[in-house]
Amino acid sequence: MLISEYSAEGRTGLAVMRRVLRHHRRYQQSTILFVSWPNMRLMAMRACWYLSPYLFVEGENLLARALSRAFEEANDPSRCWTDEEHRSFVLTLQDELVPWLSRIIVYVRKRGDDWVVWDYEKPLMNLLQELGREAVEVKLADAPKNAEGIRLKLLSHICTASDVEIARIGFSSDGATLGTQGQYPVEGAR
């Protein structure tokens, strides 16, 4: 279920989003997009809650990089105040996140010395809260996981039905996603 902006999770997600965007100097840029698409703020907030600010790949924060690129892409002046702003934000966000999420395995250490694998079912922040937030480790998977399943799970956690409709994202029965922006180049993770 989508987290609400009224809940404690939502407020934490908003605070994380603000801090990430300010740290990467994207806050000013994002504010105009938030005026034109108020739902974009909620999507970014839910992405922050789903992924947490603790995932690093190639020495970069995965969440910060994805949000930065999504805002950069959506901020194209030719798309000013059109549905294309919204569409490019959602597509870039998923195109930045899904390839990595399908290639990595995220381990979270429980209290004690057991490690739990994040299966994308619930937001990582929820898992970290439940397990006591001791440590997170990111490793490259031996074989890539099903990207379509992860995409569906990601979208279900960050978008409302109307967001998916405005972004014109469709799923065909043979598993190919309609409306993405091409292949995913993925290199090594750390």
Partner 1 sequence: MRIHGIVWLILLFASLLLSPLIVSPEHYRGLIAAEMMQTGTGYGARESLEINRRGDALYRLLMVKTGFESALTASAVPSAPANDLIMNTVERAGHVRQLESVVLGYTPGLLQSFYLFCLRLSHSWCWFAWLSPFLAALILDGLMTRRAKLRSFEYTHPTVYNLSWHLIIAVFAASLVAYSLVASLPLLLFPAVWVFSGTLLRMLISNIQHSA
For partner 1, which is the closer residue by CB, 162 or 172?
162
The backbone torsions φ and ψ at residue 3, rounded to the nearest 5 degrees and listed phi first, read: -80, 145
Strands (E), 14-172: 56-57, 60-61, 104-109, 115-117, 135-140, 170-171
Judge contact between 157 and 46, C-beta under 8 A. yes
Query: By CB under 8 A, which span of 33-41, 61-69, 104-112, 133-141 interacts with partner 1?
Result: 33-41
Residues contacting 76, CB < 8 A, separation 6+: 85, 88
Asked if 81 interacts with partner 1 (CB under 8 A), we say: yes
For partner 1, which is the closer residue by CB, 14 or 62?
14
For partner 1, which is the closer residue by CB, 39 or 180?
39
Asked if 161 interacts with partner 1 (CB under 8 A), we say: yes
Judge contact between 111 and 132, C-beta under 8 A. yes
- Which one of 82, 129, 146, 181 is in contact with partner 1 (CB under 8 A)? 82
Asked if 18 interacts with partner 1 (CB under 8 A), we say: yes
Q: How far apart are alpha carbons 65 and 63 in whole angstroms?
A: 5
Residue 54 C-beta: closest distance to partner 1, Å? 24
Q: Which residues bind partner 1 (CB under 8 A)?
A: 2, 4-5, 14, 18, 27-28, 31-32, 34-36, 38-39, 41-42, 77, 80-82, 160-162
